[in-house]
């Protein structure tokens, strides 16, 4: 398995660079017979699209997706689904100033040193724009999971820089540019972002993602655990530096009598485990939380070196998200969807003849 | 790739149950010509061995490892390295009382519901005893990484239940039963553990692992990122609920000007990135932190259901670690070693002809 | 690994259908720094292009390839190389008559029964047109292998229906529409094909492929053998029903004293092994031979059933190759190139520090 | 996926050398609930055991297998099945004479040059004794396929050196030391083998394997074709130099009107395709034929070089099969079983909701 693919049975392969002609992906392993149209993918892509508010990058991209294969008369055929998202707004000149320097906190340096060559235009392959492929692949997984098992995958922004955001209602999430589940804090967040942007700096964020109605039994111990694959998938998203399942780091200070979720015939009484025990889904909500670091491309002047190894400074003046976390919600949802779908298929393969013997809930 | 294997080129396969005849593993992909003896593996296995202090499980296991293949005249031949660790102290009767009940917070329930059958003796495949395989496989990786690249991988206990433990010195770690890098807190930790054990409860822990001298360039964007593979590997360890790379969740509240590690011709000025940028190693220390939940097998009575789905209660009276985190340090080191070795080999495959063009440090 | 990808480190993913908008592929794992242009791929695609003589399908396709990623300033960057070949000449009406029937010897029936749905236009995913992806991916592998190791991969038509074709000279292969290495038989082959086409029937073929200058040591025993991967790759080509390495089926009747290739300080004295011993390349020519069955789409009326399971007959009147083997030479070369490149990379990963200890030749 | 593992969902990992302490394997992905005992594996291992007649190697091995994991109360649990076969009769002294020389036609040379080190005792990892792992893994697959789908996998010797052996009856196969389906030729085969052994030479063989009652729909186009995976698996068996599916190389000279298997409502009228069309099983018998080369270890003196690259000669006087093909029947059956089981699971994963729409037979 190469670095640009993931998944064992629901397999996603990605290509494309920020300022190349297009991004594209191949989704392999989707069951046949699923209704699927460009619009199913487009709907999700529009949620992560740039330029949707003043708080995100002003790059102009319609992110129009074209499905190229795997569909016949509106249904998946079981063959590979290829799709393309053409790049439209590529101002390569923006990047000429930084082609010979490494932005602190950016992949500039590591790509250069690893490959001995790099595409500096817009971050090349390291651009967060690659996440269009994830979102498109996730849209297919979401739809199948929803239709086949009723699984519902939703996320929200749980913290913006220093500001934690309470979960109020799923209904709020789609009504503001922050994916905030609390509509009452939008003004505060906007002020914070305006000030941040003005200062030329950036901030981090926390995104929470929840999958409801995941059946019991998905996940393959001991290395192919559901939570292990989720952690890997989440950490593969640009800028992610931490992943928690359920109680996460709060588990450290918990007692066993507090953490271990008790059960009744109606189900679990709590969900510290985050929907996964022993690497296998419990039937509860799968709850994931991720930390995204502040954008590394900022306007403030910073110390760095150039490709000759000489000391210099750098400022980044292109169009960047001051907080990549704001647009990360649909991306994290997509990654969770892909992992769950992969494990749904893996479950059917090995345990297709098993009926969970104990009736709960 | 099935659930009991991990790694693309340095590939580890595991089998065994807590109360079966043996655990075993196969390490495939190790380069030829490495000096390797049973003792190289044994040394690491002894570090995670049960019964080494009163603070861990009192199960009596020598954990003696036998290498069965892949070695000729003391050197690896490049063929698969099979090894075995026989189980010795299996008191199956201890578990008869819980065979028909699910321990809160344990994999009992999910294995049962997934497979329709489970080996209840000592947790069966879900037992943390499986980590002998990881530690043995990690010992080989550690040795090769050290000899070939000078990579040094070490970990320590950074928090025990509510008690954070400062990093003082690597020299302290081997001198106490907690893998604490601060010798001055041992008395406090012992008192805490004695009290915890007496109360019949358990607690969580944080373990930090550091890999020094990792060369720049390891890791395959965009999905096969070094940090993504590390996160997956760490989350696959029993009881782990969270993973951080570098600044981790602290990144959320950081500004970009604070988080982005500045560079000089001598190298980076900080390491918020934790040694990975864009999924590729930077040449700095790779810094990982994990959260382990409290042991789910506790003596306190808890509400649960039985395999018929009826309400009942359960107490676990077998021999269990009151804090699995205490013995987790060598396990986390092993997983980091395996992932790094996998990426060292993957790096050579694709970039074996590249010399990092910019000289730093 | 899903069905539409192959390779461990040089990984090829394919999508597209005969009458969809495009075929495309993703090549992942190519080392950075290789000079690569559209023309490098086009040159090979032109060799397998339809319509190049009256003996192959008259479908009009320029097979123009567009590289979409993975290249910067004319060099590979080490990131995924995506490419696209748009379909141009899609006469879907040709196929309406057979949408409800299964052509004998064709994948119509199995796709239908497996997926419960199929794209009947031009064979859909089962069309041999998919091989454009293989040829494009193989072109990259060929170029890298040639530049890095001097490996030269060439094939020729060794039998056309009942007519064996002797190997005379590589120089002949490019001068006739059959990839025949014997220019003197072209007239005979043309007459045979003209008669065959007129009769509405089709025929099989044998293609031989040779890789010269493959270094000793490529291939991973015991399951990842070089010859095993070659056999799998060749058998995955449409219409292939048999694969031989070296002496192949002739080995059955050989004595050990005849088959076992003797060695001298100058090298091997024969090559019954076909360049592979124990799954590892010997340093000799890697010699592969494949059998391609006759095209299943023929004009002659044949008994079959329809999708309702009722008896009927079918004639295929679309534009088809009367012998798919004629255009198979560049495809077989491409598959061999991909497998060799994959193993070249795998060899570097594990044995990058080894110098073959015995000097030969 | 490393070289010592194969399979996507039914995953087999192998280790061990001819004169090491043991061979062993791990089978991962077996569905839970299958009755499985040591005897199920032993039964198949006994069929390929050495020393069973004077026509095979006289090495004394009971090939006793011990299952170490994955079974609870006589049933598979869905976790990894580890097993071990200890080596018993290791006369390493037999091999001292050839440690510094390369046997013509043997893997001696390639292992040495690839790894820079090799275990010369009994061929080390290249010994055909590794096939115990395949046979054990295949025994599990055979049992599951038989119980779950009624699939029946059987093979026979179809040619011994220059002597083709007709298929008479499956009942004959188990009654003679050659796996011959024609009991009337045993005397002739014995005479041939006696003479061959006396001459110090060896011969090749052809083995045919048939899988009956394979459901329609198994196999993943376009690279993960059922026949492609079969070809790869077969070619990975020691000494195999050719693989055919169905009509195989005879397809070359067939006309399309002859080769393409016509259909009626009762099913196919012939089976030139060998049970696979477009890489997907047709529901007919899956028919595979393989060519095994003559044993390379022969008593006759042959020219070769030593590890210094100097000219010398070599005679092999250890205990070797004069025809490895004789014991290859259970091995080929095992490999076919493993591939079919892998695809059975893959089919369920993707197409678990599909009922083949057209009723046939």
> Residues 143 to 172 of A: which have CB under 8 A from any C CB?
none
Whether B9 and C353 lie within 8 Å, measured CB to CB: no
Residue B89 is predicted with a pLDDT of 76
Residue D1 is predicted with a pLDDT of 58
Task: Give a yes or no: residue A356 inside a domain.
Answer: no
For B254-354, list the strands marked E by DSSP: 263-264, 267-268, 276-277, 280-281, 286-292, 302-305, 311-314
The nearest CA of chain A is from the CA of B75 a distance in Å of 28
Whether A346 and D78 lie within 8 Å, measured CB to CB: no
Reply yes or no on whether the pLDDT at B150 is more than 80: yes
Residue B98 is predicted with a pLDDT of 76
CB B206 within 8 A of CB B291: yes
Q: What is the mean pLDDT of chain A?
A: 95
CB B275 within 8 A of CB B221: no
Concatenated DSSP letters of A223-271:
TB-HHHHHHHHHHTSTTEEEEEETTGGGGGG-BHHHHS--EETTEES--
Residue B99 is predicted with a pLDDT of 86
Q: Looking at beta carbons, which residues of chain B come within 8 Å of C1?
A: 1
**In a 3-state reduction of DSSP, which class is residue D237?**
coil
Is C82's Cβ below 8 Å from some Cβ in B?
no
Is A221's Cβ below 8 Å from some Cβ in D?
yes
Whether C257 and D300 lie within 8 Å, measured CB to CB: yes
Name the pLDDT band for B252 (thresholds 50, 70, 90): very high
Whether A353 and D221 lie within 8 Å, measured CB to CB: no
Q: Tell me how many residue pairs between chain A and chain B have CB atoms under 8 A apart.
A: 425
Whether D13 and B13 lie within 8 Å, measured CB to CB: yes
Q: Looking at beta carbons, which residues of chain D come within 8 Å of A29?
A: 349-350
CB C14 within 8 A of CB A24: no
Q: What is the mean pLDDT of residues B1-27?
A: 95
Task: Give a yes or no: residue D359 inside a domain.
Answer: no
Q: Which chains touch D (3 or more CB pairs under 8 A)?
A: A, B, C
Whether A26 and C16 lie within 8 Å, measured CB to CB: no
Q: Which chains touch A (3 or more CB pairs under 8 A)?
A: B, C, D
Among chain A residues, the shortest Cα distance to C15 is held by: A80
Task: Give a yes or no: residue D357 inside a domain.
Answer: no
Q: Residue B162: which residues within 8 A CB-CB, separation 6 or more?
A: A253, B203
Whether C33 and A116 lie within 8 Å, measured CB to CB: yes
Is B178's Cβ below 8 Å from some Cβ in A?
no
Name the pLDDT band for A54 (thresholds 50, 70, 90): confident
For chain A, list the strands marked E by DSSP: 5-6, 11-16, 22-28, 65-67, 71-72, 75-76, 81-86, 152-160, 163-164, 205-212, 240-245, 263-264, 267-268, 276-277, 280-281, 286-292, 302-305, 311-314
Query: Which range (B54-58, B255-259, D197-201) has the least confidence?
Result: B54-58
Is C33's Cβ below 8 Å from some Cβ in B?
yes
For A46-150, list the strands marked E by DSSP: 65-67, 71-72, 75-76, 81-86
CB D29 within 8 A of CB A350: yes
Q: How far apart are CA D266 and CA D166, in angstroms?
A: 28
The nearest CA of chain C is from the CA of D42 a distance in Å of 22
Say which residue, A97 or B351, is predicted with more confidence: B351
The nearest CA of chain A is from the CA of B324 a distance in Å of 11
Residue A51 is predicted with a pLDDT of 78
Q: Looking at beta carbons, which residues of chain A come within 8 Å of D29?
A: 349-350
Reply yes or no on whether the pLDDT at A33 is more than 60: yes
CATH code of the domain in which A273 resides: 3.60.150.10
The nearest CA of chain A is from the CA of C305 a distance in Å of 22
Please give the residue range of the domain that contains residue B251. 5-351
Q: Residue A35: which residues within 8 A CB-CB, separation 6 or more?
A: A74, A75, A143
The nearest CA of chain B is from the CA of D178 a distance in Å of 32
Whether A31 and D79 lie within 8 Å, measured CB to CB: no
Is A354's Cβ below 8 Å from some Cβ in B?
yes
CB A262 within 8 A of CB A269: yes
Residue C321 is predicted with a pLDDT of 87
Task: Give a yes or no: residue C359 inside a domain.
Answer: no
Whether D350 and A78 lie within 8 Å, measured CB to CB: yes
The nearest CA of chain D is from the CA of A35 a distance in Å of 15
Q: What is the mean pLDDT of residues C162-189?
A: 97
Whether A204 and B283 lie within 8 Å, measured CB to CB: no
Say which residue, C89 or D85, is predicted with more confidence: D85
Q: How far apart are CA B189 and CA B186, in angstroms?
A: 5
Q: What is the mean pLDDT of residues A324-343?
A: 97
Whether D31 and A345 lie within 8 Å, measured CB to CB: no
Q: How far apart are CA D234 and CA D336, in angstroms?
A: 8
Residue D93 is predicted with a pLDDT of 64
Q: How far apart are CA B297 and CA D163, in angstroms?
A: 66
Q: What is the mean pLDDT of residues C269-290?
A: 98
Q: How far apart are CA C264 and CA C70, in angstroms?
A: 45
Task: Give a yes or no: residue A332 inside a domain.
Answer: yes
Identity of the residue in C11, C24, C29 whose CB atom sits nearest the CB atom of A82: C24
CB atoms within 10 A of CB C169: 11
| Closest of D248, D157, D240 to residue C245, by C-alpha | D240
Task: Give a yes or no: residue B358 inside a domain.
Answer: no
pLDDT tens-digit map of D167-210 = 999 999 999 999 999 999 999 999 999 999 999 999 999 999 99
Both structure tokens of C242: 């048999």
pLDDT tens-digit map of D205-252 = 999 999 999 999 999 999 999 999 999 999 999 999 999 999 999 999
Structurally, chain B folds into a number of domains equal to 1
Reply yes or no on whether the pLDDT at C94 is more than 70: no
Q: How far apart are CA C334 and CA C340, in angstroms?
A: 10
Is C69's Cβ below 8 Å from some Cβ in A?
yes
Residue C156, classified by CB atoms within 10 Å of its CB into exposed (0-12), middle (13-18) or buried (19+), is buried
Is B223's Cβ below 8 Å from some Cβ in C?
no
> Residues 86 to 145 of B: which have CB under 8 A from any A CB?
102-107, 109-116, 125-126, 130
Task: Give a yes or no: residue D164 inside a domain.
Answer: yes
Q: What is the mean pLDDT of chain B?
A: 95
Q: Looking at beta carbons, which residues of chain A come within 8 Å of C130?
A: none
The rounded percent of chain B whose pLDDT value lies above 70 is 98
pLDDT by residue for chain D (361 residues), tens only, comes to 589 999 999 999 999 999 999 999 999 999 999 999 999 999 999 998 887 888 888 778 899 999 999 999 999 999 999 999 999 876 656 666 778 999 999 999 999 999 999 999 888 999 999 999 999 999 999 999 999 999 999 999 999 999 999 999 999 999 999 999 999 999 999 999 999 999 999 999 999 999 999 999 999 999 999 999 999 999 999 999 999 999 999 999 999 999 999 999 999 999 999 999 999 999 999 999 999 999 999 999 999 999 999 999 999 887 788 999 999 999 999 999 999 999 999 999 999 999 999 999 8
Q: What is the mean pLDDT of residues A269-287?
A: 98
**Cα separations (Å) of B338 from A2, B129, B170?**
17, 18, 21
Among chain D residues, the shortest Cα distance to C229 is held by: D232
Q: Looking at beta carbons, which residues of chain B come within 8 Å of D16?
A: 68-69, 80, 82
Q: How far apart are CA C105 and CA C98, in angstroms?
A: 14
The nearest CA of chain C is from the CA of A251 a distance in Å of 35
CB D15 within 8 A of CB B84: no
Whether B348 and C348 lie within 8 Å, measured CB to CB: yes
Both structure tokens of D49: 């055991």
Q: Looking at beta carbons, which residues of chain D come within 8 Å of C294?
A: 251, 254-256, 258-260
Residue A52 is predicted with a pLDDT of 80
pLDDT tens-digit map of B267-317 = 999 999 999 999 999 999 999 999 999 999 999 999 999 999 999 999 988
Q: What is the mean pLDDT of chain C?
A: 95
Query: Which range (B10-24, B84-98, C193-207) has the least confidence?
Result: B84-98
Reply yes or no on whether the pLDDT at B1 is more than 60: no
Task: Give a yes or no: residue A358 inside a domain.
Answer: no
ipTM of this complex prediction, to 2 decimal places: 0.97
**DSSP for residue B222:** T
């Amino acid at each position: 398995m190469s670095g640009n693919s993931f998944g064992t049975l629901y397999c996603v392969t990605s290509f494309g660079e920020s300022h190349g002609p297009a991004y594209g992906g191949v989704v392999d392993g989707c069951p046949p017979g699923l209704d699927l149209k460009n619009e199913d993918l487009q709907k999700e892509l529009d949620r992560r699209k740039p330029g949707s508010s003043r708080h995100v990058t002003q790059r102009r991209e319609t992110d129009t997706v074209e499905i190229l294969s795997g569909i016949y008369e509106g249904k998946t055929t079981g063959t590979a689904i290829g799709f393309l998202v053409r790049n439209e707004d590529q101002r390569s000149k923006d990047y000429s100033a930084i082609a010979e320097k490494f932005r602190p906190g950016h992949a500039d340096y590591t790509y250069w040193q690893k490959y001995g060559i790099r595409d500096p235009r817009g971050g090349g392959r390291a651009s967060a724009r690659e996440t269009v492929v994830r979102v498109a692949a996730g849209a297919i997984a979401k739809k199948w999971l929803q239709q086949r098992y009723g699984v519902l995958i939703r996320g929200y922004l749980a913290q913006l820089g220093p500001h934690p955001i309470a979960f109020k209602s799923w209904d709020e999430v789609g009504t503001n540019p922050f994916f905030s589940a609390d509509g009452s804090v939008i003004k505060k967040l906007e002020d914070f972002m305006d000030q941040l942007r003005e200062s030329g700096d950036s901030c981090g964020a926390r995104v929470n993602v929840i999958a409801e109605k995941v059946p019991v039994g998905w996940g393959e111990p001991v290395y192919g655990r559901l939570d292990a694959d989720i952690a890997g998938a989440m950490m593969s998203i640009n800028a992610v530096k931490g992943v928690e399942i359920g109680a996460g780091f709060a588990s450290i200070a918990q007692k066993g009598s507090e953490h271990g979720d008790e059960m009744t015939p109606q189900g679990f009484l709590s969900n510290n485990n985050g929907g996964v025990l022993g690497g296998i889904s419990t039937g509860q909500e799968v709850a994931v939380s991720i930390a995204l670091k502040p954008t590394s491309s900022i306007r403030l002047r910073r110390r760095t070196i150039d490709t000759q190894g000489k000391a210099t400074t750098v400022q980044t003046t292109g169009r960047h998200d001051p907080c990549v976390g704001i647009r990360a919600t649909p991306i994290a949802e997509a990654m969770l969807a892909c992992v769950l779908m992969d494990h749904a298929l893996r479950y059917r393969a090995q345990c297709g003849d098993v009926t969970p013997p104990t009736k709960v809930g």
